[in-house]
Structure 1
Amino acid sequence: MSLSSKDINLILNFLNEDTCGSSLTFEQISAQFQHNISKSDYLRVGNALVLLLQNRDLIPTPQQRLIILFLFNDMYKSEQQSIHMNPFAPVFISILQNNNGENLSTQKHFHWFISPVTQHERWFVKTLINNNNNNKDLMKKTPNQILQTGLPATKDDNGKEELKEKIQERLQQLPVLGQCHLSAVIDDPEVNYYGFDTLIGGPRHRSNDSRQTIERLLSNNAMEQTIHPEFLRLVPPLHECTIDELVWLSPIDYDPTLFTWDSTMCIANTINHEIRQLMDKAYQGALNLQQQQKLLDELDNDQTLVYHIGLVPSKLPVLVENSPLISIQCLLKLISSNQMTEYLSSLLNMDMSLHSMEVVNRLSTSMELPQEFLHLYISTCIKTCEETKDKYLQNRFVRLVSVFIQSLIRNKVIDI
């Protein structure tokens, strides 16, 4: 995405060749930058600044470059745990290269090609990445004051090699082709070679031209346009097929009976989904007559559906209390299940109620229940009657158990 006109104007005001050296301190630049540009736009703005830094004819003064280098550090100083996590840390490494001891290939390895800088700019970057107490002093100075500061007599390269190694480790995680991109914007190596500045308007005219050029580049998203090698794939050769393979690819004697299309393939089973939704409602409360009948009909139509609706022994007591008819139908379908004993145990351990006795009674008339289960269930019911303290509730339980036992005797489910 290209930069907005508001962001472009802010950058150009910071980098105004006539005023950038003395109009604002770095502290004021930081405050204005953070106030006008959101954090989500930092990376795009940073890429635009890299483009300017790579083209020396657009920002010819060291004051402009000091502001750009400061913004690289200022954008991510509160978020990074270490300087190597800054997305623009490779720029700092390019600045810190020793012109005498390191050649251009090292800079290309870091994918940044930065024009030569002054000793003051290199010292400024060292101070920024070392994050020492000098940073507080730098914040209160203007770029001109930095350039007028005396340089230290000794070189301090502490941490540079370690920073290079950490950046190389990060770059190795990127795809190889991703590291081969070059900027699509290239500066003119012959600027001023023929003295055009003196012929056409002088430095002021050059400044206006640079401003217009920067505006066009940043508004057209030039910072994300790159030149990169294309990943070419050779056209694979034609496969030489044997006679048998040709017969298979283009069958001559086509017998439609050999192949049958599965019409149910890739079709969503909406019935199972609807039934599972109804079962979830049944666990939470009683269903209405229409929903209950829908469930019973689908269970009758598909004998295996009961295994796919999520009914486990632990959920049976809730289903019995809310929908005893559905519980009976499901248990009858689960007769052959290897978990039938667990379902009966769940019935045996639940609290005695009219619905639970109704389920056991209906099961006893529809299938042969184990006598041991029936005796234990009756014993549990009698024990519940004995332990109930409320006389009214106790009398009600006794009547229910009596009717239940009479029904079992009448249907010859148990012997007297």
Structure 2
Amino acid sequence: MDKIKSLNIDCALYQTDFIRPIPKIVSSELQWNDNIYMINLQWNYTLEINQDKLSQVKEIIQKACITEINDEEKKLLFDYLSNEKDLLKNCGFTSQRLPIIIEKNQDIAHFLLIQICNLDGFEEFLEVFIQIEVTQNTLELFAHLFGELKLPQEYITQYINYCIDFCNNIKEKQQQNKLVRFVSVFIQQMLRLKAFSTKDILTDLQAFCIEFSKVGEVSKLFKLVKGQEPSTQ
């Protein structure tokens, strides 16, 4: 630099004018870019879940579809799902798995249904009862649910009708009579609890009692139905 100065060269004569666009004058009002929309954002709640617990819960529920769960696993499942509701939403319990869990582990099915009764989609699980095979386990579980949840009377009536139709469609006589006894006891229990009105399905109940009049429990049901007829007129 000192050498350049010693030559008395005017550096200003060698400056280059860079070509650039004229800047726009910014107004005082800010203009936001509205072209970016964030639609249907969903928070991934599994990020907050203890993954070790979740994997254990999923494993137990998977096992519950295959075999009876031991007391230790059952206690672990109940403790985790009772205290951490986020686990419940991601534990793998679906309406498709409900029928097999009812038969293999009725108490677990009962626990899970009570836990999810206030969640969206619970109606799907109730619909399962009027689609699957009627068994002693399903009848007992339905009675337990009625005692703990406010099931609509229309739904209860629909389920009883479904049970009657299911009995009528069984071909094997011994199996049919066995289920008829279970269904008769179940309907008597629902009547005593005033879960439904006989007038809504009186014709079907009478036909059921006449069809299976030789089955012991059915005669008791018939007497109970007849005893309620005056109050339903």
Q: Where on the TM-score scale, by shorter chain, does this alignment land: which range?
A: 0.5 to 0.7
- CA drift of 1:371 comes to 1.8
Aligned residue pairs total 152
Quick one: structure 1 residues 268 and 400, their matched pair in 2 at CA, closer, same or farther if it must change by over 3 Å?
closer
Which residue type is aligned with residue 363 of structure 1? L
- CA drift of 1:267 comes to 9.2
Q: Secondary structure at the match of 1:313?
A: coil
Q: Which runs of 5+ in 1 are unaligned?
A: 1-264
Task: Give per-residue Cα distances to partners, 1:63-119, cap 9 Å, x unaligned.
Answer: xxxxxxxxxxxxxxxxxxxxxxxxxxxxxxxxxxxxxxxxxxxxxxxxxxxxxxxxx
Aligned to 1:269: 51
Query: Match for 2:99 among 317, 331, 342?
Result: 317
Which residue type is aligned with residue 170 of structure 2? T
Query: Match for 1:346 among 128, 133, 137?
Result: 128
- CA drift of 1:401 comes to 0.4
* 2:183 counterpart of 1:401: yes
Query: Match for 1:356 among 135, 138, 145?
Result: 138
Which residue type is aligned with residue 159 of structure 2? Y
Query: Match for 2:61 among 279, 294, 313?
Result: 279
Aligned partners of 1:359, 1:275: CA distance in 2, in Å?
22
* 2:162 counterpart of 1:380: yes
Q: Secondary structure at the match of 1:376?
A: helix
* 2:105 counterpart of 1:329: no
Aligned partners of 1:267, 1:336: CA distance in 2, in Å?
20
Quick one: structure 1 residues 385 and 336, their matched pair in 2 at CA, closer, same or farther if it must change by over 3 Å?
same
Aligned partners of 2:74, 2:96: CA distance in 1, in Å?
21
Aligned to 2:79: 297
Q: Which structure has the larger Rg over C-alpha atoms?
A: 1
Query: Match for 1:369 among 151, 158, 161?
Result: 151
- CA drift of 1:290 comes to 2.4
Task: Give per-residue Cα distances to partners, 1:293-342, cap 9 Å, x unaligned.
Answer: 32223222223432110112112111111111111111112122221111
* 2:192 counterpart of 1:413: no
Aligned to 1:178: none
Which residue type is aligned with residue 387 of structure 1? N
Q: Which runs of 5+ in 2 are unaligned?
A: 1-46, 199-233
Give 1:173-188 correspondences, 5 Å limit: none
Query: Match for 2:173 among 391, 397, 411?
Result: 391
Task: Give per-residue Cα distances to partners, 1:350-385, cap 9 Å, x unaligned.
Answer: 111111111111110000112222112111111111
Aligned partners of 2:164, 2:147: CA distance in 1, in Å?
21
